[in-house]
Structure 1
Amino acid sequence: MTRIHSSVTSISWIPREAVEGIQKLSFRTGLGHYDLPPPDVIEDAESLIAKDAIRFANVLSSWIEVENGRITGYGFDDGSKGLIGSTRVRVAPKGMNLVFPAVAYPVLRPEPEADAGAVRFVQTAGGRPGMPLPRHVKRKPFVQISGPTVWTTLALTIRADGDAALELKGASSFPRHWVYDGAGKLALKTGLIDYRKWYFESFGSHSPWGREDSEAVVASVESSLERQLSVQIINRDPQWRRLSPGDVLVTQGDAGDDVFLLFDGILRVERDGDLVAEVGPGAVLGEIAALGGGPRTASLVAVTRCRVAVVPHSFLDRDSLERLAADRRLDT
């Protein structure tokens, strides 16, 4: 008999400029803080929580037992759990902090779906910030004091041959959720943040603990080079553009020397009217025309609501842009 283990982990963090409305002021004044992008590979979600580098994590770890090619047993590992950090609020210039321990909700695990060849495990983990967030809401009781609910719902299928597949079945619309495979490598991410929806609607029955999940918009992972460039772009105080579904960011053939960072949402890349790709948050676009001074080589069209950071290419490291452009040419 052989026992096969696998896992999937989501970690959730607040990117810079992700908070909207009056709450944004607390981040700009330093009372709260945004998070740096997590690493491409993680070893231990608990250490990231301890360092206040992420807000919460969902660790789904499970096993199956196989004999003569058939699954004879299965279950969740002891390490399968939810992790949620505290909210730290700076109250003095010298760094004094108020710490509000978060409220973790019970981990939800429906009965695994099993047959002779595979088992599918599902786990929901999350909770709410410990710091009070009083606000008016549109339904009874019309005022909420406790913070909104955050969560992810992960699925992991382990097959008798040892293969495993992961899914992000659902998630709160805030903050950003990244998902890592059993080797700790970044595998996928949510493509859309909706802070206002989360802030005003994610409480009471509107969460998995009230039997209501939210489908996650999932995006592919950008390159490590794009992640480096994204930090440069955000740090250069970019202009921001908001797009509705169907809006065109750039049109193939137009001139332009700006570079774009897709901060939130999904964009469709079209060339000669044909779909080339769909890209999600973290994608850096427009570098080929910007570097060469020629026309745009593709059109960029919003699939969902999008927020895009825009900077002149001269604001960025030219060598990095040239490497990104070279990689793109190899892919076409």
Structure 2
Amino acid sequence: MAPTSLSATATSLSWIPSEAVTGAARRAFDVGFAHYDAPPPDVIDDLDELRAADGFRFANVLSVRAGIVDGQVSEAGYADGSGVVMGSTTVRLGRLGATFAAVALPVIQREPEYRDDGTVRLVQTCGGRTALPMPRQVPHAPFVKMQAPWVWTTLALVLRPDGTAEVELAGASPFPRHWVYDATGALALKSGLTNYAGWVAHSFGARTPWGDEDSPALVTASESASERVLSRMLMTGAKKPKVISLAAGDTLTKQGMPGDELYLLLDGVLAVDVDGARLAELGPGAVLGERAVLEGGRRTSTLTAVTQARVAVAPAEAIDRDRLAELASSHRREEQTPEAELA
């Protein structure tokens, strides 16, 4: 029997990944005054508990409800509890620490968009800023800012008459990293690129959704669960990996060349080409290079930066071979059609 009413919730969590801060501000993170965040979980079980554990900087919770009339979604609106959930910022100096609550901006909720196919699309923008002052020069009026830049995400939910829902990351601030969870609470999408320098210079006032502009988000699919486990192992091991930066168009590996290092894509998008054919484009969290380690020491694909990117480089012994073999079994992209790989 078709449903007579619908409800769904999608959530974005925003957090600061390792090595994401650049320029002079990085020093505060390097000495421990400020801190990077651990990646959020694969599934949101309890948002309040995650917030209490300092598990994110802010969350956009888009909760919607609607009715079904004659096979069409109707009377759609935003449910109670739809809005922003602000985290906090903790700073430390030696043994002393202080936590500052973030400041929320007004929630923007657009009118429901009813479509000819019987679906409805609802869009919500949430965001805010840290309460800590962040004095800096900016390249346009007022040329000096004391308050921190603004962070935000714009989420969209499409409700269908059959009761299913689809989430979109319609826009986002260029910093920090944004992860998007679908109506089941599972990680579904993520922003593929962070731009700390651009965020510091431009993300306030008229250059935000509360002024005249939103920023389109470069969205990538979620990496596999095994890759998320391996990425945590690489970044939290006894020896931190070396981090390199790539410009768009730079080549990380060439097919057929020798290689014995593992790569973790921290930021940006890499293209995977085999025998000149584009098989995939991968976003942050992808672990690469394991097949050369396991299969004779030669690269099985060419990896090229589609955008500017940051990559952690680690020796093969950083991960045991059984885990690498498990990952390699899912990375035989040349044995799949591009359509199947990207589906």
Task: From 298, 302, 327, give the equivalent of 1:324.
Answer: 327
The CA deviation at 1:217 is: 0.4
Distance 1:318 1:273 in 2: 29
Q: What whole-Å deviation, never above 9, does each CA across 1:59-108 have from its counterpart, x for those lacking one?
A: 00101101331333111100211011122212341xx3222221100000
Contact residue 7 and residue 59 of structure 1 kept, 8 A: yes
Amino acid at match of 1:99: T
Q: Secondary structure at the match of 1:314?
A: helix
Partner of 1:303: 306
Q: What whole-Å deviation, never above 9, does each CA across 1:20-79 have from its counterpart, x for those lacking one?
A: 122111112221111111111002323222221110000001011013313331111002
Task: From 74, 87, 90, give the equivalent of 1:88.
Answer: 90
Q: What whole-Å deviation, never above 9, does each CA across 1:199-236 have from its counterpart, x for those lacking one?
A: 12111211110121000000111111111111222233
Q: What whole-Å deviation, never above 9, does each CA across 1:286-327 have from its counterpart, x for those lacking one?
A: 101112333211100111111111111022222211111123
Relative to structure 1, is the Cα distance of residues 119 and 21 closer, same or farther in structure 2, using a 3 angstrom cutoff?
same
The CA deviation at 1:328 is: 2.2
Q: How many residues align?
A: 330
Partner of 1:212: 213
Distance 1:19 1:108 in 2: 28
C-alpha RMSD of the superposition: 1.5
Q: What whole-Å deviation, never above 9, does each CA across 1:93-149 have from its counterpart, x for those lacking one?
A: 1xx322222110000011111146111000000011100000111111111000000
Distance 1:92 1:309 in 2: 28
Q: In the TM superposition, what are the counterparts of 1:46-125 in structure 2 within 5 Å?
A: 46-93=48-95, 96-115=96-115, 117-125=118-126
Distance 1:265 1:87 in 2: 25
Distance 1:293 1:121 in 2: 51
Contact residue 229 and residue 284 of structure 1 kept, 8 A: yes
Q: In the TM superposition, what are the counterparts of 1:9-20 in structure 2 within 5 Å?
A: 9-20=11-22
Contact residue 192 and residue 265 of structure 1 kept, 8 A: yes
Partner of 1:141: 142
Structure 1 runs of 4+ aligned residues shifted over 3 Å read 329-332
Partner of 1:243: 246
Q: TM-score, normalised by structure 1?
A: 0.96
Amino acid at match of 1:313: A
The CA deviation at 1:243 is: 1.2
Amino acid at match of 2:60: N
Q: Secondary structure at the match of 2:292?
A: helix
Distance 2:114 2:211 in 1: 26
The CA deviation at 1:166 is: 1.0
Distance 2:152 2:74 in 1: 32
Distance 2:189 2:101 in 1: 29
Distance 2:163 2:64 in 1: 12
Partner of 2:341: none
Contact residue 190 and residue 218 of structure 1 kept, 8 A: yes
Distance 1:106 1:287 in 2: 46
Higher mean displacement: 222-231 or 210-219 = 222-231
Task: From 30, 33, 55, give the equivalent of 1:28.
Answer: 30
Distance 2:20 2:273 in 1: 27
Q: Secondary structure at the match of 2:49?
A: helix
Partner of 1:287: 290
User: What percentage of residue pairs aligned between the two structures are identical?
Assistant: 51
Partner of 1:166: 167
Q: Secondary structure at the match of 2:240?
A: coil
Contact residue 118 and residue 158 of structure 1 kept, 8 A: yes
In structure 2, list runs of 5 or more residues that go unmatched.
337-343
Higher mean displacement: 64-73 or 125-134 = 64-73
Higher mean displacement: 285-294 or 264-273 = 285-294
Q: Secondary structure at the match of 2:127?
A: strand
Amino acid at match of 2:217: A
Amino acid at match of 1:111: E
Partner of 2:271: 268
Partner of 2:340: none
Task: From 33, 40, 52, give the equivalent of 2:42.
Answer: 40
Contact residue 46 and residue 83 of structure 1 kept, 8 A: no
Contact residue 73 and residue 159 of structure 2 kept, 8 A: no
Q: Secondary structure at the match of 1:210?
A: coil
Q: Secondary structure at the match of 2:223?
A: coil
Q: Secondary structure at the match of 1:205?
A: helix
Q: Secondary structure at the match of 2:23?
A: coil
Distance 2:77 2:204 in 1: 31
Q: What whole-Å deviation, never above 9, does each CA across 1:130-183 have from its counterpart, x for those lacking one?
A: 000001111111110000000000000101121211100000011110000011
Distance 1:312 1:152 in 2: 36
Distance 2:240 2:115 in 1: 54
